[in-house]
Chains A and B, each alone.
Chain A
Amino acid sequence: MRFRRNLLGSFLSFVVVIGVWQAIISFGHVAPYVAPTPLDAWRSIVENWSHLWPLTLTTAKETVFGFGAGAALGMGLGVLLSKRRFVQRVIYPILILSQAIPIIALAPPLVLVLGFGLTPKVVIVAWIVFFPVTVSVLDGLANVDRDLLMLARAYGASPWRTFLAIEVPSASASLFSGLKIGATYAVTGAIIGELAASSGSSLAMFQHAQSAQLDAAGVYGTTLIMTAVGMSWFGLITLVEFFTTPWKRRSIARRAGRHI
């Protein structure tokens, strides 16, 4: 029931967005070379699909690989910083500084060093993803119930066993918040990397070419695809969270109905 309500809510949101978009174009008398209707954007996707599909796969690959690298780095750093206070005091300001550097400024030098294949895009995506994951893991581990930790110690649990059985499950909510934030921004990093330099065609460069051609439908269509990649990845992370954290879902114990 709740799932159906959520689905209906998502569908309605989608309808509202499309409706507002169409209304702005229709009532605002917007020229087609400035902005297309939703239908024209969709048509452009369909017409160019044979060209767009391999580009979409490339962007998705950059997003996934970059996200994986960033998430792994973020989780590792989060655990390290939570276990070693001194390291946290030294490294944490550097991590904050890393995020103050505009990623747009970072992309061109990365391309010069790493070339224009997959690597610089993966690095850029990882750069964007690792920080929210690090912070969320750090916060999650910092808020583990101390009583549970002491209980585990009282029962003779090893640090590793305590980490796996208590700390990881406790920090999972926070971890997945960070992963979902990272998932949303990951495709942006892939696009920035593609714009800095790409050999051959890429989704970003295709959109750039459509913009140069004043093909607004093509530009918006490509934007929709990029959005879909980002949303799909976010959805996948949410699904992983759903299946890996069953204790977060409320379980209702059925009673036999006996009066005691």
Chain B
Amino acid sequence: MKIAVLSGKGGTGKTFVSVNLAEVQGHGTYVDCDVEEPNGHLFFQPVWLETDYISRKLPVIDADKCNGCRICTDFCKFNALAYIANQVLVFEEVCHSCGGCFLFCPQGAISEKDKEVGKVQYGKSLTTTVYTGTMLTKEISGIAVIDALLSKIKDIENVVIDCPPGSACSVMESIKDAHYCVLVAEPTIFGSHNLAMVHELVELYKKPYGVVLNKCIDGENPSKAYCIENGIPVLMEIPYDEKLGRYQSEGRIPAREDEEFRDMFIKLQGIIDQEVDYETAISTKW
């Protein structure tokens, strides 16, 4: 099973939940798709065994073959091409690497070149396998790196995917292969607003999901209220705990070092397993 952990905003505890959930899998795999600022490896401190450099395609124009028909500039919905003074200008930062200009050029004047956009690292931390994607500074999209990460784990079981924050393209990419989504939410009004955004996303993708309420304190919890109002299963309420804060700030994995939290995450995994079984049962067609 592949579990994606996501949240509408940063700092709710996505990495905390995914690192510890991956840890209790035994021989599980942790995948950090938060390629703009991957940090799960800080906890796992893996021994890196392999690094792949990831690139995307950019068009290269052969001015001798170009006849100025402008099919490429008209095709480009991102406006990454312009035809000025009898030549095609390419705006590389605007290009989304769709390859359309290359396919449509009737003169065969467009070829493609590779541009490095980031890297994917593979390593081991005790019995847990760690994959981390890192996007290069100044790149505007991490999709190519996330795609490369997901292709690595295609046939692997017991995977926990740590998603980027928010509900935009990079999150959609990260959850596409997931069998179950865990939404992590904070007990604030802002937190519940962002929970609503990812809730909408997982509904749209028709993924089974549940919520982990993190950093719970006494008093009202707008995120919990949102779950009750919308009939969303609450998988677990994790208390605001100084001990956890301490582990976190020291870059340690509570589920690896502390029986109390190991039990907590084993329990969470058990609840997710039940939820998945239930989803499978009710969605079985007769």
A, B bound: no
Query: Which residues on A are within 8 Å of B, measured CB to CB?
Result: none
Q: Give the A-binding residues of B (Cβ under 8 A).
A: none
